[in-house]
Structures are given as structure tokens and as C-alpha cells.
């Protein structure tokens, strides 16, 4: 894992992490995605970015609040930035997800789920929590692979 920095987060020492939210970067290169996630102007971030080759980059400490979910809702919970870990996948939204990237995602989700006791019905895509404005991780995202690994029960 490679640690990077971003100014786009809120320090928080006592939050209840209940969700993992999966996104795609919607950018054509990893470097442009990371640059955007570090931009003071863009004001977006995530906890982790996973490259197509499977390298995991951490931008925000898990205990802190990353700015990835925006206006969001799942069940009775709103503002899911406060309650979630955000994972961005290097993908422009129109391409297949490489096996190495998905293997790294599975490994990371397993670790986070165990650490925070997150139920598999709370491993979600951005499209699940903001369906009127987001489609990521998109139709090419392999939800069935996550389901086979007992990490999610969504499609």
C-alpha cells in the first residue's frame, strides 16, 4: 500500500463505520484521478484508490471522513461520508475491471469488513446510495465476484 496525501477530508476520532462505498474514478488515467482527489478546488477524496494493476493507494486515514459520497442515503442513514470507507477504482466507466484490480479490492474489502464488522448488505456502489445522480461503479463492475466471495449481496 502506498500512502498519499489530500487536503480533502475531515478529522474525526470517533465515528461508526457501517458501510463500504465503491466508486470508479471516471478519469482516463490514474495520475489524473489522484490529482483530482488531491485538488483543493475539486474538494473530493476517498480513503483508497486501486490501480488497474492492483496497487492500493491510501489518501485518507480510515478514522477520518473522506469526501466521496456526497448527498447520499441508504435506508434511514443519510450523509454516508460520515459512516463509510470510500474506495475508488481506476476506471473511466466504460472499460472492464482487470482481475488484478478486483483481487486487490476483494482483499481490501475483507480487511475493512472484518475490522469494522460491516455486513455484506452494506458493501455498496455509489449508484446504490445516490441513484438519481451517480451510476458508478457502473454496469461492468463484477458484483457477482464480490457475491461469490461473500462480500456483498447486491448487483
* Phi, then psi, of 26 in degrees rounded to 5: 60, 30
- Are 133 and 64 spatial neighbours (Cβ–Cβ below 8 Å)? no
Query: H or E segment at 33?
Result: helix 30-37
Of residues 10, 62, 88, 95, which has the active-site annotation?
Answer: 88
Task: Decide if 10 is catalytic.
Answer: no
Q: Going by C-beta distance under 8 Å and a sequence separation of 6 or more, which residues neighbour residue 49?
A: 25, 30, 33, 34, 37, 56, 57, 59, 87, 88, 89, 90
- Residues noted as catalytic: 88
Amino acid at each position: 500500500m502506498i500512502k498519499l496525501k489530500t487536503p480533502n477530508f475531515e478529522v474525526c476520532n470517533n465515528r461508526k463505520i457501517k458501510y463500504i462505498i465503491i466508486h470508479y474514478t471516471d478519469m482516463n488515467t490514474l495520475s489524473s484521478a489522484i490529482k483530482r482527489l488531491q485538488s483543493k478546488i475539486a474538494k473530493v477524496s476517498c480513503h483508497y484508490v486501486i490501480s488497474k494493476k492492483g496497487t492500493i493507494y491510501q489518501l485518507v486515514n480510515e478514522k477520518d471522513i473522506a469526501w466521496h459520497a456526497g448527498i447520499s442515503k441508504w435506508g434511514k442513514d443519510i450523509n454516508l461520508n460520515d459512516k463509510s470507507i470510500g474506495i475508488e477504482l481506476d476506471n473511466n466507466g466504460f472499460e472492464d475491471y482487470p482481475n488484478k484490480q478486483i483481487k486487490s479490492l476483494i482483499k481490501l474489502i475483507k480487511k475493512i469488513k472484518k475490522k469494522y464488522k460491516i455486513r455484506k448488505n452494506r458493501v455498496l456502489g455509489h449508484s446504490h446510495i445516490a441513484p438519481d445522480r451517480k451510476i458508478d461503479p457502473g454496469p461492468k463492475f463484477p458484483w457477482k465476484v464480490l457475491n461469490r466471495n461473500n462480500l456483498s449481496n447486491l448487483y
